[in-house]
Amino acid sequence: MIASQLTWFVTRGSGAVALLMLTATFVLGIPTVLSSGSRYAPRLIVQQLHRNISLVMVVFLALHIATSVLDSFVDIRWIDAVVPFVSHYQPFWLGLGAIAVDILVAVIATSLLRTRLSYRAWRAVHLAAYACWPIAFVHGLAVGTDTGESWSIWLSLICASAVVVATVWRLAVIARVRSRELVGSHR
């Protein structure tokens, strides 16, 4: 009974921390591609934070998956974590989690092989990380047993707000750069 409760708490806690870390990784990934840095956040520091938080996120994600599989309350198998929509328990929502894991594995693998890949190939796969966050977010909203709790609602709102602000910022910078390019090409 105590082991089962502990597993349940670790599963939920590690899922919440993984979401926080994935959000931080997403948000920190944006300034690394937008500029060479600023006086407030030099690019090298932001890149290192992005990489290190990504590694922490992977640890918490692995803990989340392992405890989900080990928890005897529902039947979740190891294959359910990587093959979408095969789970007997909430196949669609767990399938979204598996898709997010698969995207992360591809991003991690190509990042580890970055020196052996062309920049274009690495970037194409790395851009898939933008799909990972909303897929993982929806997975957590649908499967999480704590989604109705006030702390979970606040966590979700804070993470979603951070991603929206970072995305709008990135789109604004891209639009500004393109408008400068258009003005420059008409001179």
Give the span between the Cα atoms of 76 and 73, in whole angstroms: 9
With beta carbons less than 8 A apart as the criterion, state whether 163 and 131 touch.
no
Mean pLDDT of 48-53: 92
pLDDT at 119 over 60: yes
Nearest CA to 29 among 43, 15, 14, 19?
Answer: 43
Tell me what pLDDT residue 95 has.
97
Amino acid residing at 120? R
Q: What is the DSSP letter of 85?
A: T
Of 92, 61, 60, 87, whose CA–CA distance to 76 is shortest?
87
Selection from 108, 86, 113, 107 nearest residue 97 by Cα: 86
Contact by Cβ (8 Å): 97, 81: yes
Q: Decide if pLDDT at 36 tops 60.
A: no
Q: What is the pLDDT of residue 185?
A: 67
Residue 22 has pLDDT above 60, yes or no: yes
Q: What's this model's pTM, rounded to 2 decimal places?
A: 0.88
Helices (H) and strands (E) in the chain — how many of each?
6, 0
Domain boundaries, the chain: 2-185
Tell me which residue of 89, 73, 72 sits closest to 139, measured CA to CA.
Answer: 89
pLDDT at 19 exceeding the cut of 80: yes
- Residue 31's pLDDT is what? 76
The three-point CA angle 173-20-94 to 5° equals 105
Instruction: Reply yes or no on whether the pLDDT at 41 is more than 80.
Output: no
Residue 33's pLDDT band, with cuts at 50, 70 and 90, is low
The backbone torsions φ and ψ at residue 98, rounded to the nearest 5 degrees and listed phi first, read -65, -40
